[in-house]
């Protein structure tokens, strides 16, 4: 790839950013890190940075004692934000190949801290030990219910849920709301289960 290809890619990227009305904070986030977490399709929606910061700030934990896992990690924005904290390990799982490949490129500079898997979340084996899970409605209720049922009851899990459309399923699985904030459509709840 030569410099003209790079400039052409940047121009397309900026045009798409403007077309989809991304805010300045998101643009600055991508440009400072040299990544592309912007919305490219009508079905993909990146997690809003303001909501993410609120959610992470509301976790009353020492991140170094936890593994962070984003199920449905998209292009990896949440993984990059999580990597700014001292989590023991940061993991993303994405089923759509194009999003997975973009996430791999985006997290490449931090590949010693971030691992990304191209896999259906129902096939992913959650890591052992204390865990923080992140969800931004990556799948339907039946899939979420299946994942929640397979979680071991004997360990501590925090579940950060942005726009919790299936919050009742989370509560039914034994999680309790520990913190909440934001307004529709970026309402969020941090759940906890010991």
CATH 3.40.50.720, applies to 49-193: no
Short-list 94, 65, 70, CA closest to 81: 70
Quick count: other Cβ atoms within 10 Å of Cβ 22?
18
The answer to whether 144 and 166 have CB atoms below 8 angstroms apart is yes
pTM above 0.85, yes or no: no
**What is the strand order of the sheet 176-181 is part of?**
114-118, 89-94, 67-71, 131-135, 157-162, 188-193, 176-181
**pLDDT tens, position by position, for the chain (194 residues)?**
455 555 666 555 555 544 444 455 666 666 676 766 555 443 567 788 888 999 999 999 999 999 999 999 999 999 999 999 999 999 999 998 999 999 999 999 988 999 999 998 889 999 999 999 999 988 888 889 999 988 877 789 999 999 998 999 999 999 999 999 987 767 999 999 97
């Amino acid at each position: 790839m030569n410099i003209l290809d790079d400039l052409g890619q940047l121009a397309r990227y900026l045009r798409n950013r403007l077309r989809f009305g991304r805010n300045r904070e998101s643009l600055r986030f991508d440009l400072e890190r040299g990544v592309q977490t912007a919305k490219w399709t009508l079905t993909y929606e990146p997690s809003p940075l303001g909501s993410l910061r609120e959610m992470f700030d509301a976790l009353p934990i020492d991140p170094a004692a936890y593994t962070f896992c984003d199920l449905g990690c998209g292009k990896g924005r949440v993984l990059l934000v999580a990597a700014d904290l001292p989590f023991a390990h940061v993991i993303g799982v994405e089923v759509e190949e194009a999003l997975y490949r973009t996430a791999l490129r985006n997290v490449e500079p931090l590949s010693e801290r971030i691992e990304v898997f191209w896999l259906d979340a129902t096939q992913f084996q959650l890591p052992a030990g204390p865990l923080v899970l992140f969800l931004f409605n990556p799948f339907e209720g039946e899939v979420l219910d299946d994942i929640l049922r397979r979680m071991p009851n004997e360990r501590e899990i925090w579940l950060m849920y942005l726009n919790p459309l299936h919050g009742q399923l989370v509560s039914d699985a034994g999680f309790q709301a520990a913190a909440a904030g934001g307004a529709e459509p970026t309402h969020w709840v941090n759940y906890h289960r010991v």
